[in-house]
């Protein structure tokens, strides 16, 4: 069901005479039948809470009425700019979930036409990159603030943060262009469906896609995230003794605790997807030809997609329970 990484709504790999990007295994019908029945309901639930939570977060970050209760007009802080963009990215991401739920419930028979096939797949793909690039930017901002506090203030300007976010959104859009161009609805006769699939013009595109998705979209950002957060934790440990006599801990520790929780949640939710996406690449280039591993990859991608979607629902909860400053703002406004 998930060849080509089912975040992009790919059909099953279960036919004997399928297109080139679909393998030939009999499959595990009981597992797929269970997935068809159960997964769409879970996805719709994640979509509902993701929409509700991210709209709430954005309302407290951006809407003008938030400032009516303050004695002076207060602009968003640097951290809030990044967090608001992350909430916006999550919001756009979950808007594509009802289409994905319907696609799975309909046994990957895409009912919405070619245009929505391209748009929904492209938007989901763009926000995959936007989310992880924003997590890198958030980690880098905390790194400069805590590791180089004396030199960070000139660097950490609101316009610079806004420009960084704009650049990230543009980069996500550019990296999703192949998905917009190569996605299409095609008939798969052996499965008796019209599926929203990626059709690559050449076998080399599988390698290009793996580099884009797994390297640019995960491994390199992961290396940067780990580097920044390792030094953040080391800096916080170094400040611990000095902060014992002060109320509230090291400067910036409340916001940093929120951001570290967001980073950990992001990595836990997205790592399985990228692992199975890499296995799918090995299937496509025929490094893996055993039917057990092909079926495991297809089923694993569907479940890994679900965990990736859950991340967009978890982030607003993290703001409330781990973000003391955000919680203080909400309670003060109420």
Instruction: Write out pLDDT tens, residues 35-87.
Output: 888 889 988 998 998 898 888 888 877 765 444 445 444 577 788 888 889 88
Measured between alpha carbons, how far is 5 from 311 in angstroms, rounded to an integer? Answer: 18
Backbone angles phi, psi at 99, to 5 degrees: -65, -45
Structural element, H or E, at residue 242: helix 220-243
The yes-or-no verdict on residue 232 having pLDDT over 60 is yes
Structure tokens given for 194 = 């019209």
Contact call for residues 316 and 53 (beta carbons, < 8 A): yes
Spans of all domains in the chain:
6-333
Topology, domain 6-333: Rhopdopsin 7-helix transmembrane proteins (1.20.1070)
Question: Of 82, 260, 207, 70, whose CA–CA distance to 156 is shortest?
Answer: 82
Could you tell me which residues are beta bridge partners of residue 185? 196
Question: Of 194, 198, 174, 172, whose CA–CA distance to 184 is shortest?
Answer: 198
Which of 110-119, 153-162, 231-240 has the highest mean predicted lDDT (pLDDT)? 110-119
Structure tokens given for 249 = 């801990």
* Confidence (pTM): 0.81
Longest dimension (CA), the chain: 72
């Amino acid at each position: 069901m998930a060849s080509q990484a089912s975040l992009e709504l790919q059909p099953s790999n279960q036919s004997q005479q399928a297109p080139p990007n679909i393998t030939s295994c009999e499959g595990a019908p009981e597992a797929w039948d269970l997935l068809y029945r159960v997964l769409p309901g879970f996805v719709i639930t994640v979509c509902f809470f993701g929409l509700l939570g991210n709209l709430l977060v954005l309302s407290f970050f951006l809407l003008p009425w938030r400032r009516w209760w303050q004695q002076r007009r207060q602009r968003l802080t640097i951290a809030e700019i990044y967090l608001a963009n992350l909430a916006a990215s999550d919001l756009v991401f979950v808007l594509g979930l009802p289409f994905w739920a319907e696609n799975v419930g309909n046994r990957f028979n895409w009912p919405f036409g070619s245009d929505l096939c391209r748009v929904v797949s492209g938007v989901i793909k763009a926000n995959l990159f936007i989310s992880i690039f924003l997590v890198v930017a958030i980690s880098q901002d905390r790194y400069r603030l805590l590791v180089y506090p004396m030199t960070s203030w000139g660097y950490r300007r609101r316009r610079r943060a806004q420009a960084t976010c704009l650049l990230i959104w543009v980069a996500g859009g550019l990296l999703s262009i192949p998905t917009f161009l190569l996605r299409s609805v095609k008939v798969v006769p052996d499965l008796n469906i019209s599926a929203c699939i990626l059709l690559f013009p050449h076998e080399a595109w599988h390698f290009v896609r793996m580099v884009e998705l797994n390297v640019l979209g995960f491994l390199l950002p992961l290396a940067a995230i780990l580097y920044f957060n390792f030094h953040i934790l080391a800096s916080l440990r170094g400040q611990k003794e000095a902060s014992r006599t002060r109320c509230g801990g090291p400067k910036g520790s409340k916001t940093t605790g929120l951001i570290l929780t967001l980073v950990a949640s992001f990595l836990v939710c997205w790592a399985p997807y990228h692992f199975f996406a890499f296995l799918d690449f090995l299937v496509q280039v025929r490094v893996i030809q055993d039917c057990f591993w092909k079926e495991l990859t297809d089923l694993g991608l569907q479940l890994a997609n679900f965990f990736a979607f859950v991340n967009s629902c978890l982030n607003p909860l993290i703001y409330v329970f781990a973000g003391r400053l955000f919680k203080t703002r909400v309670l003060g406004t109420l």
